[in-house]
């Protein structure tokens, strides 16, 4: 399994902060569309993280129960880690 980034790159956050200084840009249709897309993307990420963590909890519980614990040990199944994200902010 590939490693996922644990932090949101600040390059995604900084342009959104700059827009606060330009009200005409904030009111543009393109900006509004971008913001709707970002909100939608954040909601899909949150749903996917919840889905993954729920299934990880079920999997970890299952491989700890008899008789599955025997099969899991024989086949080398290991408990999975939960998916978490941390946002990082650079000091301004």
Q: Where are the domains of the chain?
A: 8-87
Distance CA 85, CA 27 (A): 31
- The average pLDDT across 24-36 equals 83
At 92 the pLDDT is 46
Asked if 85 and 6 count as a contact pair (C-beta separation under 8 A), the reply is yes
Return the DSSP state at 8.
Answer: E
Q: pLDDT tens digits for 52-81? A: 999 999 999 999 999 999 999 999 999 999
Distance of CA 38 to the CA centre of its chain: 13
Between 8 and 49, where is the model more confident?
49
The residues that bridge with 87 in the sheet, in sequence order, are 8
Q: How many whole angstroms from its chain centre is CA 88?
A: 14
What pTM was computed for the model? Answer: 0.64
Q: Are 30 and 24 in contact (CB under 8 A)?
A: no
């Amino acid at each position: 399994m590939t490693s996922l980034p644990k932090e949101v790159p600040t390059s995604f956050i900084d342009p959104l902060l700059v827009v606060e200084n330009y009200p005409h840009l904030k009111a543009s249709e393109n900006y509004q569309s971008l913001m709707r897309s970002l909100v939608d993307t954040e909601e899909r990420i949150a749903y996917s993280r919840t889905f993954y963590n729920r299934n990880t909890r079920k999997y970890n519980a299952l491989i700890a129960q008899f008789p599955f614990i025997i099969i899991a040990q024989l086949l080398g199944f290991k408990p999975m880690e939960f998916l978490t994200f941390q946002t990082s902010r650079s000091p301004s």
